[in-house]
Amino acid sequence: MTPRLAVEKVGLAFGGVAALSGVSLTVAPGEIRGIIGPNGAGKTTLLNAICGIVPPTTGRVRLDGKDVTGLSPSAIAARGLRRTFQTSALFPGLTVLENVVTGLHTATRAGLLDCAFGSRRLREEEREAAARARRVLEFVGMAGFAERPAGALSFGQQRLVEIARALVSDPAVVLLDEPAVGLSLNRLADIDRLLRRIRDERGVTLLLIEHVIRLVMEVSDSITVLSSGTVIAEGTPDAVRQDPAVITAYLGTAVHA
């Protein structure tokens, strides 16, 4: 079976300092892959390399077997890969619905003339985009907030809207950068269930960075551990939890959280 996502010996350096060094991993269709590691391990840098924000210095990234290395973020997004960020990337002055609709920017067919003259094609696309956005807001439990300004939401609610925006285009892969940051313990169970539903009901492959180790261990099918830009362990949550190199990297504490 062709991996949904393959990272092949990816390296990335900034000013001669290696942020990633020979990182490889393969993620199967419908898998939830956790990415953990100490601060500065290269986790977010890896996501940036995968989605094209910072092209790798060495190595390749493949999506469904096709090389996407060096493509722009929008070109990679159009091929079915989306991501969320550590900090909110919503437009605070737009409504929740409008923010989610922006996730369809790579799927629109209307051209400049359609926009200039308000053509039927444009109006139909706008109606369909709004309908799709409302459906995905219902899926993440935020349908009742569709008309509210995104800037008026709590941080946890904004995270759900960002996930909705990533899902609205029906991607094959979503990269999630700390979706549980700032959430209460009560909300962690909700995120756990949502991530499983994204995989099970929508068939989306997830790559998950998260400092809440309990969540990663419970929801991930497999886990890759980074330290100083290199992979130090990979396997099932149980195997990773007991790996001596992981215990050392986390000073013997975080893996048991």
Domain CATH code at residue 32: 3.40.50.300
193: in domain: yes
* Same domain, yes or no: 28 and 3: yes
pLDDT at residue number 105: 75
CA atoms within 13 A on the CB side of 150: 23
* Same domain, yes or no: 63 and 184: yes
Q: Which amino acid is it at 171?
A: P
Residue 227's pLDDT band, with cuts at 50, 70 and 90, is very high
* Same domain, yes or no: 72 and 175: yes
What's the mean pLDDT in 204-230? 95
Instruction: Give the number of domains in the chain.
Output: 2
Give the tens place of pLDDT for each residue, 124-178. Answer: 888 999 999 999 999 999 999 999 999 999 988 999 999 999 999 999 999 999 9
Evaluate if residue 118 carries a pLDDT over 60.
no
DSSP 8-state secondary structure symbol assigned to residue 179: T
> Residue 39 to residues 130, 218, 223, 225, 230: CA-CA distances in angstroms?
39, 21, 17, 12, 13
* Same domain, yes or no: 64 and 115: no
Is pLDDT larger for residue 114 or for residue 41?
41
pLDDT at residue number 119: 59
* Same domain, yes or no: 127 and 239: no
> Which stretch of 24-33, 194-203, 240-249 has the lowest confidence by average pLDDT?
240-249
Residue 55's pLDDT band, with cuts at 50, 70 and 90, is very high
Q: Which amino acid is it at 58?
A: T
189: in domain: yes
The residue range of the domain holding 149 is 90-167
Angle at 144 between CA 139 and CA 147, to 5 degrees: 115
182: in domain: yes
Evaluate if residue 246 carries a pLDDT over 70.
yes
Q: Order of strands, edge to edge, in the sheet holding 205-209?
A: 81-83, 173-177, 205-209, 32-36, 222-227, 230-235
* Same domain, yes or no: 196 and 145: no
pLDDT at residue number 112: 42
How many whole angstroms separate alpha carbon 105 and alpha carbon 110? 11
* Same domain, yes or no: 67 and 178: yes
Check the CA dihedral 26-29-35-41 and report its sign: positive
What's the mean pLDDT in 205-225? 95
Entry pTM? 0.90
> Residue 214 to residues 12, 44, 63, 241: CA-CA distances in angstroms?
29, 19, 29, 11
* Same domain, yes or no: 141 and 70: no
Coil vs helix vs strand at 226: strand
pLDDT at residue number 215: 93
Evaluate if residue 248 carries a pLDDT over 70.
yes
85: in domain: no
Given 107, 133, 167, the domain boundary residue is 167
How many whole angstroms separate alpha carbon 114 and alpha carbon 135? 25
